Each structure stands twice: as C-alpha cells, then as structure tokens.
Structure 1
C-alpha cells in the first residue's frame, strides 16, 4: 500500500510532469492531441488538489481527455484549416499544369517544359507524343511527370 499512498501524496507532481511533457510534445506535433491530453492532465491535477484518490483522478482525466479529443479537437482543426493558404504548392501545384513536349514522350521516357519554365522527365499512357505537342500534367510519379495531350478528354484544364 505504500505505492498507493505515495501516488496519493505526490499525484500533483505526476500531473505537473504530464502537463509539461504533453505541452512539449504538442509544440513539435502541432496537431492538438497532446494539447487535449495536457488539458485533461490539468483536470487530473485539479482533482488531486481536492484530495481525491489517485484512481479517481486518473478516471476523470481519462474521461475528459476522450471528450476533448472527440468534441473539441475536430472543430479546432476545422477552424485552423479555414485560415490555411488555399494555394497549391510543391507537387500539388504541378497537377493540371500545361506544358510543351521538348523531347518525344513515350510510355517510358521523354521531356516536357511546363508553363512555369521547369523541365521535367515525362512519360505518358498514350502513344508517342511528338515535340511541340501541348500537354497537361495528370500526375507526378516520383521525379517523372505523367502527361496527357492537352486536347485529350481526360486532360485537366
């Protein structure tokens, strides 16, 4: 029973350590789960200061953690996403971009120049695409742009 007495007497320290740990982890992850756990740990700390048994502190902290994760985290993430930059970047910005065939593009090789000036190794699922054929990037596969003719029915404009 010494462990139970120790936990009851020093539970506030355990809760403070958990709060600090969760806040530090949250600073690196930025996805609100550890923030919810830190808030639940704060609830456990408050309950421990009332003199409640350690098992009750844990149960209350766990229930609050589940409630916060299920009901507070999703709206926070949604609100955060509303303020996000809607501009596509990196590979996403290349999908749908127009370009021109520089070297004949086949199902295995070729080269295109995109409208942003970048030269890309390219391939296509179509027959051979001759130089000066306008194309549209349909996907990126590693360092290869998968292109379709700009006048193809599946081309994204």
Structure 2
C-alpha cells in the first residue's frame, strides 16, 4: 500500500481533527471565521464519507468554507452586533470630553474636573500653562493622566 492510498484511506481522521481545531479556535475568537472554516471541514468530511477522492474532498471543503465566509458570515455578524451599545466606554468615553482646570495645568501636571464629575491629573502637550477656571478638552489619556488643551471658545478670547 503506497502513501497516497494510506492518506486517502484515513482522510476522515484528518477532517475530524481539522474540524475540532477550527471549532476550538472559534470558541476563543468568537468572530465566526473559524466556525465557517469548520463547517467547510464538515462538508469535506461528508464528501469523504460519500466516497469522493481526496482532491474532490479538499475542493468541496474549501468551496463550502469560502461560500460561508462570503455569504453567511457578514449577515450573521450584523445580526449578532445589532443590539450592541455604540456608546464609547472607559478611556474612549473621555476623549473629547470637556472640563475645567482646578489647579494650574502645565507640562508637568495639574488637575481638571471633567464634565462627568471626575477629577483627573492633567498636563498639556505644549509649553503654555492653563490657569484655573479655563475650559479644556481632553485630547488623549496617558495612563492616569489626561492630556488637555483649551477649548476653542476660551482659546480665542
């Protein structure tokens, strides 16, 4: 018995291993990509059980996986994400938030009270200092420090 016949005879084992690997990876990623590849592997296994030659099994598995990735995955992802809250959270929610300087802010530090009521250590990204009472906008978060700049209304006056 030559190598090709042995591989063809035990191809079902390879398909099962491939399916298990794809579905295991899918449980870690949750993006439906590996689920579609796993279903393509199931199609290849069905072709093998139907007696198709190895090359046809691979073609069937790849074609089914490609079709599922292109046609089924996008609408499934849209449906899954339909109920998501689009509101930014954590650090993303602070970017662009307004606040008021409560202790002079410069290159080395200061404090601001943000619109959500939080008091943050803050600094500027340029040389000028911002005095207490001036309205500012958060441009970036660097660890536990907010980088701020004067808002447009106060910067023009």
**Matches of 1:70 and 1:109 in 2, distance apart?**
51
Give the drift of 1:54. Answer: 1.1
Aligned to 1:59: 59
**Matches of 2:140 and 2:106 in 1, distance apart?**
15
Aligned to 1:128: 129
Aligned to 1:148: 149
Q: What TM-score do the two structures reach when normalised by structure 1?
A: 0.83
Aligned to 2:34: 34
Aligned to 2:75: 75
Q: What TM-score do the two structures reach when normalised by structure 2?
A: 0.83
Aligned to 1:100: 100
Q: Secondary structure at the match of 1:64?
A: helix
Contact 2:139–2:149 (8 Å) recurs in 1: yes
Q: Unaligned stretches of 5+ in structure 1?
A: none
Q: Structure 1 pair 10/65, CA: closer, same or farther in 2 (3 Å)?
A: same
Q: Structure 1 pair 42/139, CA: closer, same or farther in 2 (3 Å)?
A: same
Give the drift of 1:20. Answer: 1.5
Give the drift of 1:122. Answer: 1.8
Give the drift of 1:62. Answer: 1.4
Q: Secondary structure at the match of 1:72?
A: helix
**Matches of 2:59 and 2:135 in 1, distance apart?**
64
Any runs of at least 4 consecutive aligned residues in structure 1 with deviations exceeding 4 A, and if so which? none
Q: Structure 1 pair 100/70, CA: closer, same or farther in 2 (3 Å)?
A: same
**Matches of 2:115 and 2:135 in 1, distance apart?**
10
Give the drift of 1:27. Answer: 0.6
Q: Unaligned stretches of 5+ in structure 2?
A: none
Aligned to 1:137: 138
**Matches of 1:152 and 1:9 in 2, distance apart?**
76
